[in-house]
Every structure is written in structure tokens, then in C-alpha cells.
Amino acid sequence: MISCPLPTWLETLAPMAAAMENPLAVASNVKHLPRHKLFMSFAAHSKRSGKLQVVSVHQRVKAASSLYSDCDVDVQKPWKTADARLVLEDGSIWKAKSFGASGTQVGEVVFNTSLTGYQEILTDPSYTGQFVLMTNPHIGNTGVNPHDEESSQCFLAGLVIRSLSICTSNWRCTESLGDYLAKRNIMGIYDVDTRAITRRLRQDGSLIGVLSTEESQTDEDLLEIAHKWKIVGVDLISGVSCKAPVVWSQKTHSEWEFHKDQNQVENFHVVAYDFGIKHNILRRLASYGCKVTVVPSTWPASETLKVKPDGVLFSNGPGDPAAVPYAVETVKEIIGKVPVFGICMGHQLLGQALGGKTFKMKFGHHGGNHPVGNLRNGRVEISAQNHNYAVDPASLPAGVEVTHINLNDKSCAGLACAELNLMSLQYHPESSPGPHDSDPAFREFMELMKASKK
């Protein structure tokens, strides 16, 4: 509680007082007045003076501060000041305000162009080890709720946004974004120039960064951390995969089901390898009539084939596909024996298992608005994407068809091989968040399994 009278109001009114002939005399006489009378007194004095007096900024601040310089309390500003830094490996330092958890965290900075769905992005395991910068400036206005989770926890390293909403306005909201991140020990920063950082990432590529709220860490210390930390060649899948097989039966809730007229009569058994699988991939499979068994990333191919599934799904996941050779070997042992569907990381692993190569993209694809061209039917899909690696189509053997391309950069976005009964997409057909243009891919997988049973 501030014991000295109206210090912050006098600071606010300093520019008005500067236009008066004798602002301090007026202020000293009215500093105990109610707020509206204080304004009226300044206005009346200005009218009586009949002239304007120019006072320097230094004089105004000194005059206003002298009125309460004898107060023996700490006067705090009514707004949060910058208390965090983002230090990038290129040496740039970005001052910001913190929310969520505090401390020091290192990660790869990527930008996401989605306009909505930040909670699904926060809980997407594919963002493990990354700071997600949202290009949409206003984040947090819908809060969070327990129904939009894409996994059991937040896996990303941190969240970088321009403007943090000071309030939430959504009937489904149960918690603010800041409280949500704090409980999950996830760091966030705001009031930082996300447009400038995005331009830098587009020009220079994804950069390693360090977030810190600790004053004991110098800029040089944080830069050294950024230079030493590596994400390329690191197995990130093992840290996000389940530890034992589980059966998934939950379908897309009827409130959100957008294909209400489809007749789900199939009863396929699908084994889904969890490389960081999103819940809505599993819900879409269940909604299409599948019994789904989720297995860990290290689950032996022999155990999978022993249960004679109708199909196998290789899921999305974080990091470098070249860093998980054990997963590539598993894929090799399964393809050709049962119908296969690969999504994102699963697509890249299929590419490698078929003899192709993968490479790290400059800044990757992250967002819910990427156009994809279906080369089979000429259809354009607006897709949800999240990956930093891609398959090199020139490295693929004969018989493997590129079915989809990203229309922004012409990179490979889908594969198929009729002989081996496999299909894959580099993006997310479950689209959570994102448009539902690509949901028919699940129907194609059903048809692939149905045809193999004949």
C-alpha cells in the first residue's frame, strides 16, 4: 500500500503540468483532491494562466518525483517491465516480459503461422526441444481447457508471443494461459518483436536460442549455452513415446465430428507406433471404425506382426529421423507385409526405409495454413504442418510415387507404393488445429486395408 498521496497520478499528469505556468504550485494544492477534481484544477489553472510554458522532460520528471521523494516505500509501476531475455546463437539479444515458468531454458526457435489452436500446439510432442514463436500477435484470449490437449503434457521448450491477452473470453475456458504454463514448468515470453525474429529465421534458418529470467546469467553465458547445445542427430522420440502398449478406443466427440453421415462399418485392427503421436490421430482412426493398439517406438516388428494387424500406422514425432535408426529398421521389417500409413515423422522414416534420404529444412513448416497439391487428382488442400525435415524425392527408388507436394516450396509432402501397400503424408491429416481438407486420407487408409484383405 502506498502511503504518500497520488504519486502515480502526478507522474501521469506530468505532461499536462508541463503546459502550465506553475504546475508544482497547483499540484501541491490539489494532491489530496479526488481524481476528477484534480483534472479540473489543472484545467482551470491552465485557463487562468493564458499562456503555455515549455518545460523539459527532465524538469517534469524531477518536479513530479519531488512531491513524493520523502516517501519511505517502494513505488512500483502498475505495469510489468522486461524481466526476460531471448539470446539467439547469432548473438542477437531480445528483451521481453516473462509469463509461465521462470528460469533458463535452451531450444531451437521455430515460427508457427497458425491463427488459432495454441493449446494443441503446446501439447504436440513434435515440438519437443523447440521454442515455438507464434506469428499471430494476440495469444491467450481463449484461455485453455482440458479437452483440447493433444498429449498428456506440454513437450515444447517455451512459447514466444507478441501480445499476451490480459483476459480470457471463451465458454470452454477453465484456466489462463499463464497459469497453465506455470503449472507445467513451461517458460513463455511476450512483448517481443516476433515479426523481426520471424524475418531473421526465414533469412538465416532455425536458430538455437536460450530463454532466461535469471539476472545471474550474463548475455555471454546464455550465448555460450546456445552455441554448445545441439538438436540435430539427437533421438527425441524415446522421450515422448509411451512405455507399454495401450488400447485406444475414444472417437472424435460427436460435437466435433465433421463427417456425421459416414457409415463406419469396418472393424480394422491398427497398430500405431507412438513416435510422439497426437490424440486426434488416434481419435480419427477410431472414428473410422478401427480398433487401435498404441505401441512404444522401440516395439519389435516381430511382436507387431504376431498379432496380425490389418494395418500399421507410423506416427508423427519430434526431431531428426536419421537419429533413430532403430525405428527405420522396424519400418523396413513391416513394409510389404501389412498396409502402412506414415504421418510426418512416419513419412520420413518410410522414406529412409525405402532407400531414400532426408534432410533438414531451412526453417521447416509449422502452421495450420500450408497449401498442398494432390498430384493424383489435382486437388489443393490447406493443411496443418509441423516438421523441420523432409524426404528428398530424387533419392527414392523406382516404384515409389510422390503423391503430394507442398505448394509453397515444392517439397515432398506425400508418398505411395502400390506394390508395398503403403502411403504417407508429411503433414497432419487430423488437423488439430487446422482445416479438415486432408481428413479423407484416413478413408484412403481404410480402403488400402480393405483391398489387402480380399
Q: What does the pLDDT look like over 18-69, one tens digit per residue?
A: 444 444 344 444 444 444 444 344 444 444 444 434 344 344 444 444 433 4
Identify the structural domains of the chain with CATH numbers, from first to last. Answer: 84-231 (3.50.30.20), 237-453 (3.40.50.880)
Q: Is 344 a catalytic residue?
A: yes
Q: Is 430 a catalytic residue?
A: yes
Element (H, E) at 107: strand 104-112
Predicted confidence at residue 261, as pLDDT, reads 57
Predicted confidence at residue 435, as pLDDT, reads 86
pLDDT tens for residues 161-201?
A: 999 998 999 999 999 999 999 999 999 999 999 999 999 99
SS3 151: coil
Helices (H), 33-72: 35-49, 57-66
Determine how many CB atoms are found less than 10 A away from the CB of residue 395.
Answer: 16
331-362: buried (b, 16+ CB within 10 Å) or exposed (e) per residue? bbebbeebbbbbbbbbbbbbbbbbebebeeee
Residue 137 contacts residue 194 (beta carbons within 8 Å):
yes
pLDDT tens for residues 362-376?
A: 999 999 999 999 999
Distance CA 257, CA 276 (A): 23
Residue 188 contacts residue 176 (beta carbons within 8 Å):
no
SS3 293: strand
Among the listed residues 344, 365, 412, 417, the single catalytic one is: 344
pLDDT tens for residues 326-381?
A: 999 999 999 999 999 999 999 999 999 999 999 999 999 999 999 999 999 999 99
Backbone angles phi, psi at 93, to 5 degrees: -125, 130
State pTM to two decimals.
0.82
- Write the DSSP symbol of residue 4: S
* Contacts with 343 (C-beta within 8 Å, 6 or more apart), sequence order: 281, 313, 314, 315, 316, 424, 425, 428, 429
Q: Is 167 a catalytic residue?
A: no
Predicted confidence at residue 53, as pLDDT, reads 41
Lowest pLDDT segment from 106-115, 244-253, 356-365: 244-253
Per-residue pLDDT at 17 exceeds 70: no
Determine how many CB atoms are found less than 10 A away from the CB of residue 145.
Answer: 15
SS3 95: strand
Mean pLDDT across the chain: 86
% residues pLDDT > 70 (the chain): 81
Predicted confidence at residue 454, as pLDDT, reads 75
